């Protein structure tokens, strides 16, 4: 059973608009929640994270929201740019362990 679910395999957004990527998790024991971005033929790269004691973290155009009661994590990208087109993985981490979701492919149309 998947502990981290990204229910939308793909998302298409117009340039300049907001992209919202969602992630649900089942295990409450993890301390950190992360988003990674992956371009074709490259490895995932860390994008932004949030610890379990916060509900929001912002870094430029990227904001991560954590709703612990709902076990829900989201990534907002505002404004979206064509260069944001990639696969986005959410992940939950604690100690040595990180569990990844299956990814959401974001297309940002110019």
Partner 1 sequence: DADVTQTPRNRITKTGKRIMLECSQTKGHDRMYWYRQDPGLGLRLIYYSFDVKDINKGEISDGYSVSRQAQAKFSLSLESAIPNQTALYFCATSDPGTYNEQFFGPGTRLTVL
List of residues contacting partner 1 (CB under 8 A):
4, 6, 9, 31-32, 34, 41-46, 49, 51, 89, 91, 93-94, 96-98, 100-103
Q: How near is the Cβ of 3 to partner 1 at its closest, in Å? A: 10
Half-sphere exposure of 10 toward its Cβ, with a 13 Å CA cutoff? Answer: 4
**In sequence order, what DSSP letters do the residues of 20-32 get, joined into one string?**
EEEEEES-TT--E
Closer residue to partner 1 (CB): 32 or 62: 32
Residue closer to partner 1 by CB (options 96, 110) is 96
User: DSSP assignment, residue 3?
Assistant: S
- The minimum distance between CB 79 and partner 1, in angstroms, equals 25
Cis (ω within 30 of 0) for the bond into 43?
no
């Amino acid at each position: 059973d998947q502990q981290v679910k990204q229910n939308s395999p793909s998302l298409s957004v117009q340039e300049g608009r907001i992209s919202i990527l969602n992630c649900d998790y089942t295990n409450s024991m993890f301390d950190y929640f992360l988003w990674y971005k992956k371009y074709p033929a490259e490895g995932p790269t860390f994008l932004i994270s949030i610890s379990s004691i916060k509900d929001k973290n912002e870094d430029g155009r990227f904001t991560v929201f954590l709703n612990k009661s709902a076990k829900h994590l989201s990534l907002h990208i505002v404004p979206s740019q064509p260069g944001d087109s990639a696969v986005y993985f959410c992940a939950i981490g604690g100690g040595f362990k990180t569990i990844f979701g299956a990814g959401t492919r974001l297309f940002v149309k110019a």
